[in-house]
Chain A
Amino acid sequence: MSLLAILGGGLFVYLTMERALEKQLTNYQETLTWRALAEIDYVIYQRFRETTSLDPLILASLLNRIDGKAYLYSNEGELVSTNRQNAYSGEVLHTSVKRLGLLGNNWTLVIEKPKAEIFAPAREAALKLTLFYVPIIAVILGIIYLGFIKLIARPIKALVKATQAVADGNLSIRAEVYSQDELGQLATSFNEMTSKLKAVEHTKEEFVSLASHQLRTPLTALRWYSEVLLKDMSGISRETRDYLIKIYTNTQRMSQLVNSLLNASRVELGTLSRVRKEVDLKLIAASVIDELNPEIQLKSLKFTKTFSIEPLIIFADPQVVRIIIQNLLSNAVKYTPKGGQVSLSIKKQESALLIIRDTGLGIPGEAQSKIFQKFFRADNIRDIDTNGSGLGLYIVKSAIAEVGGDIRFDSKEGKGTTFYVTLPLSKSI
């Protein structure tokens, strides 16, 4: 690109100089012609003062002194004499000069010379000048270019990179400050801004963490006390028992909501993963299935798990893996009508692949692009279940991204949904 600019610049310089020199030389040529003519005039005047007619030989010898092809025309336009036999080939430059006083005649002298010959020195000079100046111009352009990169492009690039990182949620990023000028100040302000944002995020995390801890303590009490009451139902009315069950289930719901809010806040801060270690994906999956078993039984769902006992080790935070599987599987169970089918298969490929399939409500077409958005709930599930928070899949998607995996799905409303989750096998990926 820059090489092209230098070549273009060089060509422009060369053409401009050539043009200028050509003009100069044209003027010069005229001067030469006048001079030649004056010389002829003078010689003739000196030598043939008394003569009334000119010997053609003398004229020819005079014209021979002229560099270039010369034609001498009489008053009547007749060619009186010329100095060369052959005309030049190619483009010529010619100058015609009318002169009075050549033995009382009003004759015209025309001198012509090939342009190429006239301009040869001009071209040579232009070329020399170009060869001299272009490297200098190239060096100057290069210096300007490097200066641009150093002073403007590099700081801007660094800032753009940092901005993108912040957009991706990395608030620890700092833009490098290259200078003390406006761009440097911009980078400094940017860094101050991200520090403040980070501090705000930290406060937010601390708040959510503490708030959820504070919320959990009374919730635990509620849960445990209602659990004890529900265990011994003798002597209480059916209505009381129903109300107790409602207290219990709502307490559960509240606990889940607190958990989801906390996880969502962690996921946003990228702090969901606390420890990373080798964990058996199948073991975690099996324990999630166990946990969901009562609900699977209650809804008479046909549950199929297709994976061997042989461990499948991945490198991740077991809590995070649990959150991923738990959310997807409990959704499948929750949104599949009685008697439906849910399956979980786990395969080892280049990464660990989990396939969670259900014959449930499915995701309506218009909702498919939105299911990973925070607090989004599709209309068809809103109708049958008012309890969801709309945070589950948002957390899942972010958690998967955090461990370096991927999630996609196929779904047809009324037919069911299949989620495909890949999780990296080792830390190196």
Chain B
Amino acid sequence: MGRAVDPSRAAGRFAARPDVITRTTSRGLVVWPLDEAAPMLLSPLAALVWEQLDVPADLDTLATRVRHRFEGGTAPDRARITSAVEHLVSQRLLEPVGPSSARREG
């Protein structure tokens, strides 16, 4: 935690933190990690990304999962998904898991 991660370069996998309380609303996903002082409201895309990472995945797998959720609609492009991942990592809602070749190289 606290270590800078660049998901656009990272080849590692990400996972949603398990110690988070959530509620789905039409305004977005309300999330409150146990050790945080305040809740957060995630945008629909960030919520979708977070929910898909209930099972850890790398960015390619995540993009496929997100695309499947749109069922013929316009799925968000890779850059938007990466941006959502970055946001969630910065909020400490996602954790990098497993070895990341980008970080090993760095």
A binds B: no
List residues of chain B with CB under 8 Å of any chain A CB: none
List residues of chain A with CB under 8 Å of any chain B CB: none
